[in-house]
Amino acid sequence: MIDRERLLARFLRYVQVDTTAVEGADCYPSSPGQITLGAMLVDELRAMGIEDVTHSEHGIVVATVPSRGADAEPVVAFNAHVDTSPETTGTDVKPQVVENYSGGDLVLPGDTSKIIRVAENPELNALHRCTLITTDGTTLLGGDDKAGIAVIMELAECLLENDAVVHGPVRLLFTCDEEIGCGIDHVSIEELGATVCYTLDGGGAGDVDYETFSADLAIVTVRGVNIHPSIAKDKMVNAIRAASAFVASLPRETLSPETTSERQGFIHPYQIEGGVAEVTIRIILRDFETAALDEYAERLREAAIEVESKYSGTQVSVETHCQYRNMRDGLVDEPRAVKYAQLAHQRLNREANLSIIRGGTDGSQLTEQGLPTPNLSTGQHNPHSPLEWACLDEMVQATEVIVELVQVWAENPG
C-alpha cells in the first residue's frame, strides 16, 4: 500500500526547499521558503484530487481527505511543520541517499570532518540493509519536520488510492515557524474541526509521545555605559563583562541541557548579542513540571541582582514569556488519543513505546488549546544538526501506523 519510492522522492524534494525559521522576524511566516513549500504541498494535494485545500496568507495549509465508508465524526487531524531550525543553515541542502546500509560510520562528503558515528548513534545497529538519508555535512537535513510532511502526504495519497481502507474525514495541517515557538499562532482550532490530532514530529520508530517539556523564554537585558576606551576610567560600565558573569553564574552541572537527561529540566542560554552599552541574552527554561519554570525564573532574577552588585552601574532586567505547556495535562481529557495510537501499533504487530519529549511540538500548544495532540515517530535522527539523518524504512513504518490509526478511529472501539 505504501509507495516507498514515492515517499522517498517526496522527502528529497521537500528538504531541498530552504524553510529556515528566522527568530525575531517581523513577518509570519518568518522566511519566504515556507510559503514556497506550502504552495508545493497545495499543488500536490490538488493533483491527488483533493478539492478541500486552503493556503492562508500566513502560509498555513489545511486540507481534507473525505471519509470513505465511515461516519462524518470523529475527524482525525495530522500535523507537521514546514520550517526548519535556525540553529543550522537549511540553505542548499544536498541530501545523500545511502541504500542498503551495511553498517559502520558515515563520513559526510561535503565536510569530511563531519562523521555520523555508530558509537554516538547506536540505533544504526538495528538499521542494517535499510535506506538512510543524510546531509552532506554542510547543512541540516530538515527531517525535522519534512519527514513528517512526507509521511502525511503519503498517507493522503494512500487513502485516496485504496478503496478498501475505511476511514472518517482526515484533516491535514501544515504549520509554519514551529521551531521558533509560533507554529499555531494562526491556526483556528474551531475551523480545523477535529476530534483529535497527531503531530508527526518524532524520532525513530514506534514512539507515542504523551508528554513534553513545559517551556518559557527568558530575555535578560544587561545595560552598561559606553564611552571611548581612552577616557573610560571610572566611567565605562562594560555590559559584555557583566553579561559574561551572568551566564557563568548559571548552574551548569545540574541544570544545563548538556548535563541533564530524561525528566530533568534545564536553564539554557542559547543566544547572546550586543556590545558595551547593552547585551541581550536569550534563555530557554524547560521542565516537565510547569511550576519549576517559576523557580528557574527566580534563579535568573537572583543572578541579576548578584551581577548588579558586583558590577557597579550595571542594570540587569529579566522578563519571561510563556511558550508551551506539557501536553500530558490536556491528554487526560481524551484518553483515546494515546490508546488508539497504541492499538494501531498492536494491529501491525508492533510495540508502541510510550515516551516523553525533551522539547515541544505544535501538539503541546494544540493540546493546551483543547485539541488533544500526541506526537508520533517519523524516522528523524539528530535534528537541527549537520549530522542529521533519517531512515526511509522508519518513515514507511510511520505511514503504515497512521493508515491503521485512521481505521481505528473510524471503528471507534470502546
Question: Which residues are known catalytic residues?
Answer: 83, 178
Is residue 107 within 8 Å of 115, Cβ to Cβ?
Answer: yes
Distance (Å, whole) CA 293 – CA 409? 36
C-alpha cell at 237: 560600565
- How far is 78 from 194, CA to CA, in rounded Å? 10
Strands (DSSP E) contained in 123-195 are 132-134, 170-175
Q: Nearest 5 degrees, angle CA 158-CA 163-CA 164?
A: 95
Q: Residue 201 and residue 195: Cα distance in Å, rounded?
A: 19
Q: With beta carbons less than 8 A apart as the criterion, state whether 199 and 79 touch.
A: yes
* Residue matched to cell numbers 555508530: 118
Q: How many Cα atoms are found within 13 Å in the side-chain-facing hemisphere of 165?
A: 26
CB 209 within 8 A of CB 367: no
Cα–Cα distance measured from residue 113 to residue 363, given in angstroms and rounded to the nearest whole number:
36
Q: Which three cell numbers stand for residue 165?
A: 481502507
- The grid coordinates listed for 222 are 544587561
Q: Indicate the SS3 state at residue 198.
A: strand
Neighbours of 332 (CB within 10 A): 11
